[in-house]
Amino acid sequence: MKSIPHALLLLGLLLSPFAGVRSNAQVTEATNPDTIYPMVEKLQSDVSLLNRLKISGYIQTQFQLADTAGIESFTGGNFPVGIDNRFAVRRGRFKLAYTNELSQYVIQVDVTEKGVGIKDAYASFTDPWLQCFTVTGGVFDRPFGYEISYSSSSRESPERSRMFQTLFPGERDLGAKLTFQPPKTSRFNFIKLDAGMFNGSGGAAVDFDKYKDFISHLSINKANRSESVKVGLGLSYYNGGWRQGTKYNYSMNEVGLTDGTIMAYTVDSTGIALDSKLRREYYGADAQLTLDLPIGVTQLRGEYITGTQPGLVKSSTSPSAQPTTDAYIRNFSGAYFYWVQNIFQTKHQLVVKYDWFDPNTDVSGDEIGKKVTGSSKATNAYDVKYATLGLGWVYKWNSQVKITAYYDIVTNETTSNIKDASTLKDLSADRNDNVFTLRVQYKF
């Protein structure tokens, strides 16, 4: 760096004849190496601090067209009554990340036409000895599965799968986690384990009970020497629950009918359920495969989740506030599968995604909604399985701009026991609830 003061000294000497208004003392001070060295050191310090601060973000503007006005949808939320098309700012993210040698501070906000909300607000610290353990605390992605932590700016489909939106609305939660991953210099860097305790009510909600949820994800990621083949595998576990707000809850059991038996909701009649913990337990497995082929990079991804979900009579979604009605406990399962194909070395990608979510695996078809007698209660429209086939095209205009055209073909399980004059409520046939999305994303 000695050349910088010498250059500045030379520049000062060249300009000195034109600076008649300045005194000789001022010129001497400005070109004195003893003065310049501290200035350069301060400039270097300031640049170093700025290099630790990263500002990033993206905005997604989109137009959507639905088959039927007013449909319920997991493609950016339900359509308002009487409306089958809409413009929206789906996400408008602004993120600040300050990274030091062994620590990081992150805050991210989301700005849309619906308002401003916090998405991330956390700090993380890595141990200075082995550099294998990192503690993170605040609001951040739940460490379950693969799709939650896969950024919405990179994801090829407009939205996450139905099962993740139901089980993990908002993706984030407030809590703390411990991450074990050897440093990049270690041959065991491909192993990563996340485990933490969370409120369970979501990142944007205030906790409403004393119970905390345990979430964990173990993953391995390997590649061959040329990185033409990459493989990722993961296992996830969730154990938590929320406080029951009434005296009774319902679970699925076999009940008798005049013509046989059927699975229906039966009440816990002990009368001691108030304030007890409703068990919320999930098991998950995920896998990813990337192949660099002559036709272009091929990506295959998949994930499967099963478990027990406490919800309400008309909802399987994990609550963000204390429910004040009886709880309904269901066994569920769900999955998604991606095929993403780059078209040779062009800017084009083709996307095929299939996902399904069955909120109640104990009943299917015409068993759903069948009437029962006594204190038992029949299943309903919120026990119906849905599957979605997504077909998409992605064009990466440049490193900042991405255009996506995507069509969601939604299919629901049918039952002759839930008929309605309104096509929005009738489940005796497949609903007309497909959605086309045209999205432009700008990322910096």
**DSSP letter string over 127-187?**
-SSSS-EEEEEEEEE--STTTTTS-TTT-SSSS--HHHHHHSTTSEEEEEEEEE---TTST
Would you place residue 182 in the very low, low, confident or very high pLDDT band (cuts 50, 70, 90)?
Answer: very high
Question: At 164, phi and psi to the nearest 5?
Answer: -70, -35
Q: Mean pLDDT of all residues in the chain?
A: 92
Q: Which of 181, 174, 199 is nearest to 280 (CA)?
A: 199
Q: Read off the pTM.
A: 0.89
- Reduce the DSSP state of residue 233 to 3 states and report it: strand
Neighbours of 101 (CB within 10 A): 9
- pLDDT value of position 8: 42
Percentage of residues of the chain with pLDDT beyond 70: 92
Query: What is the rounded CA–CA span in Å between residue 410 and residue 430?
Result: 9
Q: Which of 103, 184, 100 is nearest to 136 (CA)?
A: 103
Contact 305, 334 (CB under 8 A): yes
- pLDDT value of position 281: 98
- Per-residue pLDDT, averaged over 7-18, amounts to 44
- pLDDT value of position 32: 67
- Per-residue pLDDT, averaged over 144-160, amounts to 97
- Per-residue pLDDT, averaged over 181-203, amounts to 96
- pLDDT value of position 29: 54
Q: 213 burial class (0-12, 13-18, 19+ CB within 10 angstroms)?
A: buried
Query: Is CATH 2.40.160.10 the classification given to domain 32-443?
Result: yes
| Domain edges within the chain | 32-443
- pLDDT value of position 440: 98
Q: Is the dihedral of CA 8, 9, 11, 15 positive or negative?
A: positive
- pLDDT value of position 271: 64
- pLDDT value of position 5: 47
- pLDDT value of position 51: 86
- pLDDT value of position 27: 47
Neighbours of 16 (CB within 10 A): 16
Q: For 274-312, what is each residue's pLDDT tens digit?
A: 888 999 999 999 999 999 999 999 999 999 999 999 999
> What's 276's DSSP letter?
P
Neighbours of 128 (CB within 10 A): 9
Q: Which amino acid is at 61?
A: T
Neighbours of 212 (CB within 10 A): 15
Q: Report whether pLDDT(252) > 50.
A: yes
- Per-residue pLDDT, averaged over 217-231, amounts to 97
Would you place residue 424 in the very low, low, confident or very high pLDDT band (cuts 50, 70, 90)?
Answer: very high
